[in-house]
Structure 1
Amino acid sequence: MGRSRTPLRRSKLALAALVVAVTTAGCARGPGAGDGASGIPDEVMLSSEDLGGATISTGGPDAIHPLPPRPCASATVPATPAGSKTVPATPATPAVSATVPASPAVSATGPASPAVSATVPAPPSGSAQAGPDSPEPVAERTINATVGQYRIYEYVARYPAGLAEEAMDVLRDELSRCRRPADGEDWKVLAEDDAGLLLLRSYSDGDASAAYYVGLAEDHLVAVLVIGTRTPNGDPTTAAGLGSAALARAGGTRETPVPPASEADPTDWNIYQAEVTGVRRGPDPRTLLIDVELLAGHPDCARNPRTDYYTEENGMIYANVVLDSARADVRGGCPSKVPGVARLTSSTPIGARVVVLNNEPWAPDGTGYRRCDPNLGCTPPADHCDPTWVLAAMKGMDVPRNSSRNVEGCDGAWLVMTLNLNSTQCGAGGRPGCSAPPAVYRYFMRFEEAGWRTVLRSTAPGCGDVLKVRADFPPALCRTLPAPG
């Protein structure tokens, strides 16, 4: 309040310079960069599959973005003139910077843009990542990738037993003491879970932001940083989704951080149904972890996936899976999706009970759960001639749903069924003055892995037509049948 802001034109030019610097920084090795030889194996790190097929490189971010985050190690650095660049000062020098000449910037539209004022983390003492009050990791590694409009960085450090928690405690302490460590900079805890924190760091007088997720997975400290490539803003929803995936890779529990209950939020958030993509066993017999898709692309797209309207009836568990969003109804406001996790906790062990989420049943299947078939249920009848299988077949056919049917023959592998497609043209029971000519056809069907599939439709008597296309069709099911109709 009361602080003079940079004129609009200059501010935009400065931010453009910052975005260029951020986008290119990951191409070189940065602090904490490493590879498999660093002591952190590939399987502990995010994979290309986790990042939508993106190519992964080794290296950390530029000095503007500390990784892992260190709120108390920041100090304001004056803007440097165009044609120079800011680099970290030598180790063991607290919160300072140095500038070295750089090649003149070349622009098709005019002279180089002035560099933006930014905060630079103080060079650490000891490890390339540890702060003066933080324990030393025994191994650390940093990777990066570009995913759409974001640059993603992951940092993983392994500590001696018990010291990863101490490193996390140092971060929490710094967030409480140094929420605003420098003019124009602010660190905010957006959400938290049992494993860690979702953070948003605002800087450059609030015109730029970086999103972090930092969490514990056994003896590992895992940190994911998301910054923009086309704009100077990271996405907390993306950081939360990739953070939960990174925890799972490092041996932790994959969950989604939720906002602190006490934090006031003036944004107009509303409740929406979440899209459930998977269900798995939780860390104890009473808990399930529910994988969901979260809207992403803006900090207000989605948060707090959770279960709601929970009840247990007739040996089954029912719950709605919902999330909060302030932009779900904004056209183009959330252009992407990221994974998230909601937690379901029962008062008793869940065991082999079916779980109905958003009116869709899920049944135990090995170590996880499978989505039940909407027509066959969770336990399809063993008898393929059961009416449940026949009705499911009709729903998959291009016929009126309420067509009258007559099963002429079935042996579990082959089915003969006659349908009148015009049986309900005049409504149930008919209407006065309404008549519809019959449209009766005989369907010859074969049972496959997914259910009954049509081999042939015919209006002829007997088996002549079907035997022309399937010589193995059993004649006993159709030999004596008259023409349908």
Structure 2
Amino acid sequence: MPKGPHPCVRDLKAVYTADVSTTVHVQVTLVSPDGDRRSGCTGTATESTRTVLPQALGGRELVVDNYTVFTPDGAKPPALRLCGDLGCHPAPTGCTSDSYVQALKTVDAPNHSYQDAVDCRGKWMVMQFSWPTGAASCGGDDKGCGSRLGDRYFFRAEKSGWRPIAEGAAGGCAVVQAREPDFPASMCENLAPLPASLHPHYSPAPSAGTGSASPTSR
């Protein structure tokens, strides 16, 4: 909620709106001047409000403002568990498409990233991915449409999902095994360096009068 030196929230309400199959929907509303930065309401704070459901939630999920979902599964009543991006009951971490999506989110991969190569073996994974850098909409012979950048990450499976171990465009195992000696050599020893066009490395800016920085491969 908005926070500032003066009151920033009034008429805070949580209103039951609907039952839809296995979910109960609640809408939170409030009045705040935070849209005007001159109000000073530029911080955030936690506030609470109450609502009464027509009947007990039971085993159903609670949806707040159409996008935040809570479930009673795995929580100690009366608490609820906040569901993640992959839903309230994501599949176990593994070599699956849903798990690959989670891995990309974990490393903050840019929107529209594409999995170029994935080697997944049990608790270990190496993923190379890339993303477009051209104009949002272009066609014909516009070379910007084919421009891409990319990266490579190494992961270890944990209960909460794939956890990144190391990032590196260099070939071989040095980068990942420096951080995780148990990472299988068979998954990294034959990795080639990413092309400089896909993963440019910019040298530090030179001092005045010595020219401009230029990309080099690493």
Question: Do the structures match in fold with TM over 0.5?
Answer: yes
Pick the aligned partner of 1:340 from 39, 48, 62.
48
**Equivalent pair of 2:12/2:28 in contact (CA under 8 Å):** no
SS of residue paired to 1:389: helix
Q: Which amino acid is the alignment partner of residue 370 of structure 1? A: R
**Equivalent pair of 1:420/1:439 in contact (CA under 8 Å):** yes
Per the TM alignment, residue 294 of structure 1 is displaced from its structure 2 partner at its CA by 9.4
Pick the aligned partner of 1:312 from 19, 23, 29.
19
The aligned counterpart of 1:392 is 102
Task: Map 1:292-331 onto structure 2 (within 5 A).
Answer: 301-303=9-11, 305-308=13-16, 310-323=17-30, 325=31, 331=39
Q: Which amino acid is the alignment partner of residue 385 of structure 1? A: C
| Number of aligned residue pairs | 188
**Equivalent pair of 1:417/1:442 in contact (CA under 8 Å):** yes
Report the CA distance shift for 1:389/1:295 in structure 2 as closer, same or farther (over 3 A). farther
Per the TM alignment, residue 316 of structure 1 is displaced from its structure 2 partner at its CA by 1.3
The aligned counterpart of 1:414 is 124
The aligned counterpart of 2:182 is 472
Report the CA distance shift for 1:353/1:442 in structure 2 as closer, same or farther (over 3 A). same
- The 1-side partners of 2:168 and 2:139 are apart by 27
**Equivalent pair of 1:294/1:340 in contact (CA under 8 Å):** no
- The 1-side partners of 2:164 and 2:118 are apart by 15
Q: Which amino acid is the alignment partner of residue 180 of structure 2? A: R
Q: Deviations over 1:456-484 (max 9, x none)?
A: 33334443543344221022333444554
Q: Which amino acid is the alignment partner of residue 168 of structure 2? A: S
Q: Which amino acid is the alignment partner of residue 26 of structure 2? A: A
Pick the aligned partner of 1:372 from 83, 102, 119.
83
The aligned counterpart of 1:92 is none
Per the TM alignment, residue 342 of structure 1 is displaced from its structure 2 partner at its CA by 1.6
The aligned counterpart of 1:106 is none
Task: Map 1:177-216 onto structure 2 (within 5 A).
Answer: none
Q: Deviations over 1:204-251 (max 9, x none)?
A: xxxxxxxxxxxxxxxxxxxxxxxxxxxxxxxxxxxxxxxxxxxxxxxx
Task: Map 1:420-459 onto structure 2 (within 5 A).
Answer: 420-421=130-131, 423-427=132-136, 432-435=141-144, 436=146, 438-448=148-158, 450-459=160-169
- The 2-side partners of 1:329 and 1:384 are apart by 43
Q: Deviations over 1:48-94 (max 9, x none)?
A: xxxxxxxxxxxxxxxxxxxxxxxxxxxxxxxxxxxxxxxxxxxxxxx
TM-score (norm 2): 0.65
Q: Which amino acid is the alignment partner of residue 381 of structure 1? A: A
- Does 1:357 pair with 2:64? yes
- The 2-side partners of 1:450 and 1:390 are apart by 13
Per the TM alignment, residue 317 of structure 1 is displaced from its structure 2 partner at its CA by 1.5
Report the CA distance shift for 1:484/1:349 in structure 2 as closer, same or farther (over 3 A). same
Task: Map 1:93-172 onto structure 2 (within 5 A).
Answer: none
**Equivalent pair of 2:15/2:28 in contact (CA under 8 Å):** yes
Report the CA distance shift for 1:334/1:478 in structure 2 as closer, same or farther (over 3 A). closer
Q: Which amino acid is the alignment partner of residue 155 of structure 2? A: M
- The 1-side partners of 2:174 and 2:119 are apart by 16
**Equivalent pair of 1:461/1:481 in contact (CA under 8 Å):** yes
- The 1-side partners of 2:164 and 2:114 are apart by 17
The aligned counterpart of 1:35 is none
**Equivalent pair of 2:173/2:189 in contact (CA under 8 Å):** yes
**Equivalent pair of 1:424/1:430 in contact (CA under 8 Å):** no
The aligned counterpart of 1:38 is none
The aligned counterpart of 1:382 is 92
Q: Pairwise CA RMSD of aligned residues?
A: 3.8
Report the CA distance shift for 1:339/1:417 in structure 2 as closer, same or farther (over 3 A). closer
**Equivalent pair of 1:384/1:413 in contact (CA under 8 Å):** yes
The aligned counterpart of 1:239 is none
- The 2-side partners of 1:405 and 1:396 are apart by 14
| Structure 1 segments unaligned to the other structure (5+ residues) | 1-274, 276-292
Per the TM alignment, residue 320 of structure 1 is displaced from its structure 2 partner at its CA by 0.7
**Equivalent pair of 2:133/2:147 in contact (CA under 8 Å):** no
- The 1-side partners of 2:133 and 2:13 are apart by 44
SS of residue paired to 2:99: helix
- The 1-side partners of 2:46 and 2:60 are apart by 29
SS of residue paired to 2:101: helix
